Amino acid sequence: MIICHCMRVTDREIRQAARTGACTRTEVSDRCGAAACCGGCAPAVDEILAEENPAARVTLVPLRKSA
């Protein structure tokens, strides 16, 4: 599933970046390009990063639900 629409990065690519040592959103971005443009996918990237890499340094912000 595409998570970052700007850079066309999938959840699998983000998970792979986390499994290979990315501990911050910037490190994920450096490895696969996610969250490198508008930042709209940043909360989803952080959530995946936290799931895959417990050592990740992320602060999860709840996603807003549309009204």
**Residue ranges in contact with ligand FES by CB under 6 A:** 4-7, 34-41
- Measured from the CB atom, the residue of 38 and 60 that comes closer to ligand FES is 38
Q: Count, in order, helices (H) and strands (E) of the chain.
A: 3, 2
Helix/strand/coil for 5: coil
Q: For ligand FES, which is the closer residue by CB, 34 or 48?
A: 34
Report, in Å, the least distance between residue 40 CB and ligand FES: 4
Rounded least distance, CB 10 to ligand FES, Å = 12
Residue 42 CB neighbours (<10 A):
17
CB closer to ligand FES, 47 vs 54: 47
Query: Is the CB of residue 14 less than 8 Å from the CB of residue 20?
Result: no
Q: Tokens standing for 10?
A: 């999938």
